[in-house]
Structure 1
Amino acid sequence: MHLFKKIAYTALLLIGGTSFGYAQKIYKGKVIDELTGEPIDYACVCTKSANKTTVTDKFGNFQLSLPTDTATLYVSFIGYTTQTIKTTKTDKRFVVVLRRGAIDLKEVQISPSLNNNSFHTLSSLDLNLRPVNSSQDLMRLVPGLFIAQHMGGGKAEQIFVRGFDADHGTDVNVSVDDMPVNMVSHIHGQGYADLHFLIPETIADFDYGKGPYYTEKGDFTTAGYLNFTTKDVLDKSVVSLEYGRFNTFRGMAILNLLDSAAKKHGENWYIAGEYNYTNGPFTFAEHYKRFNAFSKYTKQLNEKNKLTFSASAFTTTWRASGEIPERAVAANTTAVDANGNPVIIPEYSNPIGRFGTIDSAQGGKTSRFNFIAKLNTDLGNNLNLENEVYYTHYNFLLHVNTSFFAEDSLGGEQQQNQDRDMFGYNGKLSKRHYLGNVILTSTVGLGTRFDRTYGTERSDVTEQYQLIDYIEQGNINQNNTSVYVDETLQSGKWLFNAGARLDYFNFNYHDTTKNDVVVSPKFNIQYTANDQVQFYLKTGKGFHSNNGITVIGNNNFETLPAAYGADLGLNWKPIPHLYINTALWYLYLQQEFVYDDDGNIVAGGKTKRYGVDFSARYQLTDWLFADLNINLAHPRLADSAKNTGYLALAPTFTSTGGLDFKFKNGINGGLSYRYMHSRAGNNTGTLNADGYYVTDLKINYTQKRYEIGLTIENLFNTQWNEFEAEEVSQLKGETAPVDQMSFTPGTPFAAKLRVAIFF
């Protein structure tokens, strides 16, 4: 009887709470951009009288429950003028149009409705303030993420983040418009993520997260993820030309194809093209050439359905100076004897120099063609359905030689070759439930991806590219199907997020098949004390898949090794014009993969990392902005002693920052730096990878119809190494291989002028 009374009392409370929720007045709205008419997600909507705040979803929609029939709403977003809306409760959704204006950090709101994306404020600020003209610039906008080139400009960048040398993407999930960029079972490294097909002027937004805490993100989401979203609508057409040192040239055009009448009917279509050429700073000119093309068409079929088609293509060819051993640039020698003593070689009596070349046969070519179709459907009653299909055709050919004569007396190359078709589907059904002061967002997702590689090959060839022997050769078929469920509950100052995803993998190589399944649970908590302070705890399990060749051929490697992580973080606005994000974090990997330049996989064993991330954005005046990012990490093999078990090239201390300015007369730009501290060059710590400090400068004069800009890389002409790695190499005339750091020098002082026309 006592138990029955408790149940009845609880039921009455629930009924009373629900009744109170239904007694509230419901205000529904949509926030759009004045120029493009496109929805604005994460716009902040608040009312001071009831002290309530919410943010718009990705379709620009919001809903507030208030106790009165009339309300005054304040709608704001970074880079827009705040709108004050006096409205009356109605069953229809009203539209709020935001006009672009000056960037004001005072407008940034800390809201309980941020849905665990504490980095969105930082990404929006940086993209609005920082001029970018390459995919590399876009990647560097992520606080704590560093990139490096070391085999010519045509390869995917090496990624360093959160104590990871993530190779070319093994531990970072990269996507564009939710289409995967990472290549599974790539011949040059698992998760290879080449973003060179991206034209920066087409980017509307980017989203990133650190750690394995996001239910939508699957393979390679251990250190984090990065997703770029392209524009649906252009606010203007642009033609630009750039020219700079080392015979560097870039031409770009992005053009509207439909008139304003079509735009009013929800129809938009534009194209973009880009050509890049540079010799680079090397003595042996790179002759780097890249062509890019992109087109996107969107059509609002009706009030409920929006259809999007996009296509992109790029092709690149280049010659590579490659990595050279440190000893090769020592004065008057290019060789050492078996004891490491310098030896004068008559045919190389002069040093090759930091920008010299030992093997001129290195280089490559690559291409990628992408097609994406999306249909977003508003099913009514706060229920949305997203469907996406994509297809990619990809080619890759690389000639690389980092060991020179260490492996054979011919000093030949290694050839890496792969053709690929990739196609897949992403589907997501999401529903928002409003129960008084409680918001419950439920999401169910389904994805499938198929990769088919042809002519996958890693072989030894002569300098004339004649085959010596195959190292690996054969077609790889790989399938990945995933399903996930995600629930987010917001009640007052609290937000709880829980989810889980299941991934099924099928690997096939040389007619041998292997299957595996991994389940990845996530749980996150957020507490917003007020509009100045927000705490969050993120926990979750992620994974990175292994290369199909390794999965089939070697049972000593894990197929889908797990990653377990936790973040304890803070978002803080101590004063109106200062925004701070900081976090303590920990990450454990069941097995780490490391790829050398030859594409060989090395299982790093179990690893653990912990560290601190700190980011601050401060507006000093209405035209001057400061930013600072500091990232500390302690990466180690999990079973190592305190001062051993180093992880080669894993960053331990990095920092970026600078000053950005935007004057009303059109002068804008910024002075920025990036700092990488010295770190272990190998797992024993006996070799060292040098740190660097590089400063860049960008200045633009922007008017309504044109822009003139100057970009200076390495303003103070610092001598620095963009990339270093341990290599066992043997130069001509040396009697035995030498284990030493090899390096690719960083760009010296390089100025580039840009002229753009808007219409």
Structure 2
Amino acid sequence: MKHLKFLVIVVCFLFGQNLIGQTFDGQVLDVQQNPIEGAYIFNQDTKSYSISDSSGYFRIGETGVGDSLRIGALGHEKLNILLTSGSVEGNLPFILNESALALKEVVITPNINALNVISKIDLMAQPVGSSQEILEKVPGLVIGQHAGGGKAEQLFLRGFDIDHGTDISISVDNMPVNMVSHAHGQGYSDLHFVIPETIENIDFDKGPYTAGKGNFATAGYVDFNTKNRLDGSSVQFEYGDFGWNRSLGLFDLLSKKRESAYLAAELLQFDGPFESSQNFSRINVFGKYTAQFMPKSQFSASVSYFRSTWDASGQIPQRAVDAGLISRFGAIDDTEGGQTSRFNINTSLKQQLNDSSFIETNAYWTHYDFNLFSNFTFFLEDPENGDQIQQKESRNLFGLNTVFHKTHSQDGLGLATKLGGGFRTDLVNGNELSSTLNREAILRRIQLGDVTETNLYGFFEAKMRLNKFTLVPGLRLDYFDFGYQDLLQEFTETQNRNGSVLSPKLSLLYDNNPNLQFFLKSGVGFHSNDSRVSALRQSQEVLPKAYGLDIGTIFKPTPNGLLNAALWYLKSEQELVYVGDAGIVEPSGRSERFGLDLGFRQQIFPWLYLHSDLTYTHARSIDEPEGSNYIPLAPDFTASGGVTLGNGSKLTAGLQYRYLDNRPANEDNSIIAPGYFVMDMNANYELGKGLLASLSIQNLFNTEWNETQFATVSQLANEATPVEEIHFTPGTPFFLKAGIRYTF
């Protein structure tokens, strides 16, 4: 009993140190009255400091009348304030004006995910101009498109060929993008419904270390947040090679101090460099309304609609190109293609309960349709009609997320907690795989069924600050109910299976000063298996886990420089392999990966900004013998980066590069997927009176490269036996686009 009393006294002493003395509460906003998260508040007299939360609120200790505060945030001018009795009693908000990018404003603290600062810096230096560029803002994430923008991109991160999203969780305004038990692959994530100019910031982390992230968050997660308001209305037109044309309108419908609303609309058409035109067309509409009903309550509602249609030349065999049967931009079956659409409604409410707690809730509903025609093997299965397949589904998806935040002391020190929970339900009608001919006749239905899948979850996460150390424990519990009804069988009932998974997390941060942080992260994550696998194959694991460990640092060696490095390890209980000719996912054995991530950002002059990210990964299957344990298409070395000129001036320009090394395309490394180095360029010039001209060049040096590639067994019409080799989609050649934007 004495020991218990002593422990209580010690804990109270440690957490009570910051409760001694005066405290000051405030809020940091931008000129549009939007909260600024991650702003630093520094008392120049007592040297105490604090960081604003997602609502812009902060509490700083050892602060009172007569003290001088310095307030700053990335992309905003610093504000120096002398506290008076009126400002202390009135609790007035502090308004920060916007400014050009300045790395010296970055402060490294345990209160925010320091890696998010990197993406915010990159987004300010080089705003995104296409849906594909959105994901490329995540350091170390490599993408590849093999349907000209029609399908979701193929993703690579930390030695994973993630396919279209199996091992990365992606969301927009807390609404999930990943589609469970999708007709084309588990975790399928089509982000093309997002208009890139509406993106405000990107939240991401690598590894399974965040308790608030569940399904698919093994290699990492990416959250995109859209703007609450626009700075003004604008229209934009782009034209380019290969029939590229894009029209964009951003319309500020309502701009009051406590209310805002805007509408964004995009129309994109593109033929592509292929001999058979892609006939790609996409329409996007997004509207958002935001209001503060009370000083500490914010409500948002958004509605969006997206639709794409396209033709495709598919993945072509290298031997057909080498033999001169087709060119690199030709096709074996040019009747591939498809259409997809997505309609979203998303509402959110953020309520400040008191000075130390707030709650965030969002509810969403999505209606989604998908219809894809592919031919991976040509005439292997059906020498007469060919091997074209159709993958199709119609889905309703709805869910709810709620997180309660509580700060138990001031200055960002002491204890802060999160308690969250929610659910997601997917109702999929007609999840179909069929053999087809010329996208017209159905020759044979291979699979046809309805999927029901529900995920219930709850989590807890805490940040305990003890001097320069911050301990971040977390625990997450997920429950899944999988259901599948096979409609090809007579008198069948829905097959059900359920399962649960407990995911503990524990991280330790050490902050020597506001310019240096060391971290040690550990955690367990998971991805769910396809309902067709989970419900029908009762012996298979339904929620395979991944075990991760990161050790690294992020620091500022100079006021205008930022470096980050991490050594990491990740072990997966089970891989999910997509089998193209069968159109399903199959579970395989265990795997392990370890590697090194390096990144740097340097603002040499106010108008010159450099950045680069390098990754090295060693990825192998655990249960296979040496030499046959390679993981197909797992990248071992990637690099990306660039330079930006003219920060904040009339003329801005940039060069960006990306590099993907050669990598094994099959398990014994006998087939190699060739790597590539590609460089892009962009420039913008303010003509005055709200006019901005833009120019961009993809593949500046006209490099011959393969954007996506697979080791596939196929058979051509004139071949007697099948052949396994690289099948690829060629990367875009030199591609010039020009545009003009008018802001009013």
TMscore range, shorter length: over 0.9
Q: Deviations 1:552-593 (Å, cap 9, x if unpaired)?
A: 222353200000001101011111111001100000000010
Distance (whole Å) between structure 2 residues aligned to residue 754 and residue 134 of structure 1 = 13
In the TM superposition, 1:92-131 aligns within 5 A as 92-114=90-112, 117-131=113-127
Q: Deviations 1:326-383 (Å, cap 9, x if unpaired)?
A: 0011144xxxxxxxxxxxxxxxxxx310000111211000000000011111111311
Distance (whole Å) between structure 1 residues aligned to residue 587 and residue 14 of structure 2 = 55
Distance (whole Å) between structure 1 residues aligned to residue 647 and residue 63 of structure 2 = 43
Distance (whole Å) between structure 1 residues aligned to residue 109 and residue 457 of structure 2 = 31
3-state SS in 2 of match to 1:227: strand
The one-letter amino acid paired with 2:634 is A
Aligned to 2:415: 440
Aligned to 1:417: 392
Task: Tell me if the contact between 1:152 and 1:363 (Cα under 8 Å) persists in the aligned partners.
Answer: no
Aligned to 2:21: 24
Aligned to 1:571: 554
Range with bigger deviation, 698-707 or 653-662: 698-707
The one-letter amino acid paired with 2:665 is G
Aligned to 1:339: none
Shift in Å at residue 600 of structure 1? 2.6
Aligned to 1:309: 301
Aligned to 2:580: 597
Q: Does 1:82 align with 2:78?
A: yes
CA change 1:752–1:535 in 2 (3 A) is same
CA change 1:68–1:98 in 2 (3 A) is closer
Aligned to 1:682: 666
Task: Tell me if the contact between 1:77 and 1:107 (Cα under 8 Å) persists in the aligned partners.
Answer: yes
Q: Does 1:500 align with 2:491?
A: no
TM-score (norm 1): 0.94
Aligned to 2:713: 728
Range with bigger deviation, 589-598 or 290-299: 589-598
CA change 1:69–1:739 in 2 (3 A) is same
Q: Deviations 1:167-220 (Å, cap 9, x if unpaired)?
A: 100001000000000000001000000000000111111111100000110100
Distance (whole Å) between structure 1 residues aligned to residue 635 and residue 275 of structure 2 = 30
Aligned to 1:323: 315
Of 587, 590, 595, 1:606 maps to: 590
Task: Tell me if the contact between 1:65 and 1:437 (Cα under 8 Å) persists in the aligned partners.
Answer: no
CA change 1:166–1:678 in 2 (3 A) is same
Q: Does 1:199 align with 2:195?
A: yes
Task: Tell me if the contact between 1:21 and 1:437 (Cα under 8 Å) persists in the aligned partners.
Answer: no
Shift in Å at residue 464 of structure 1? 4.9
CA change 1:555–1:666 in 2 (3 A) is same
Distance (whole Å) between structure 2 residues aligned to residue 308 and residue 160 of structure 1 = 33
Q: Does 1:468 align with 2:450?
A: no
3-state SS in 2 of match to 1:549: helix
Aligned to 1:338: none
Any stretches of 5+ residues in structure 2 without a counterpart?
Answer: 486-493
Shift in Å at residue 547 of structure 1? 0.5
Distance (whole Å) between structure 2 residues aligned to residue 103 and residue 481 of structure 1 = 41
Of 216, 219, 222, 2:212 maps to: 216
Aligned to 2:644: 660
Distance (whole Å) between structure 2 residues aligned to residue 11 and residue 139 of structure 1 = 47
CA change 1:387–1:16 in 2 (3 A) is closer
RMSD value, Cα: 1.7
Distance (whole Å) between structure 2 residues aligned to residue 230 and residue 436 of structure 1 = 29
Aligned to 2:728: 743
Q: Does 1:535 align with 2:518?
A: yes
The one-letter amino acid paired with 2:393 is Q
Aligned pairs, number: 731
Distance (whole Å) between structure 2 residues aligned to residue 436 and residue 12 of structure 1 = 21
CA change 1:436–1:214 in 2 (3 A) is closer
3-state SS in 2 of match to 1:131: coil
Aligned to 1:168: 164
Distance (whole Å) between structure 1 residues aligned to residue 280 and residue 160 of structure 2 = 29
Any stretches of 5+ residues in structure 1 without a counterpart?
Answer: 333-350
Shift in Å at residue 20 of structure 1? 5.1
Aligned to 1:707: 692
Shift in Å at residue 52 of structure 1? 2.6
The one-letter amino acid paired with 1:682 is N
TM-score (norm 2): 0.96
Task: Tell me if the contact between 1:152 and 1:322 (Cα under 8 Å) persists in the aligned partners.
Answer: no
In the TM superposition, 1:385-400 aligns within 5 A as 385-400=359-374
CA change 1:283–1:460 in 2 (3 A) is same
Task: Tell me if the contact between 2:64 and 2:83 (Cα under 8 Å) persists in the aligned partners.
Answer: no
Q: Does 1:44 align with 2:40?
A: yes
Shift in Å at residue 68 of structure 1? 5.4
The one-letter amino acid paired with 2:312 is A
The one-letter amino acid paired with 2:711 is E
Shift in Å at residue 7 of structure 1? 6.0
Aligned to 1:453: 428
Task: Tell me if the contact between 1:148 and 1:722 (Cα under 8 Å) persists in the aligned partners.
Answer: yes
3-state SS in 1 of match to 2:83: strand
Of 267, 273, 278, 2:265 maps to: 273
Shift in Å at residue 674 of structure 1? 0.2
Task: Tell me if the contact between 2:495 and 2:536 (Cα under 8 Å) persists in the aligned partners.
Answer: no
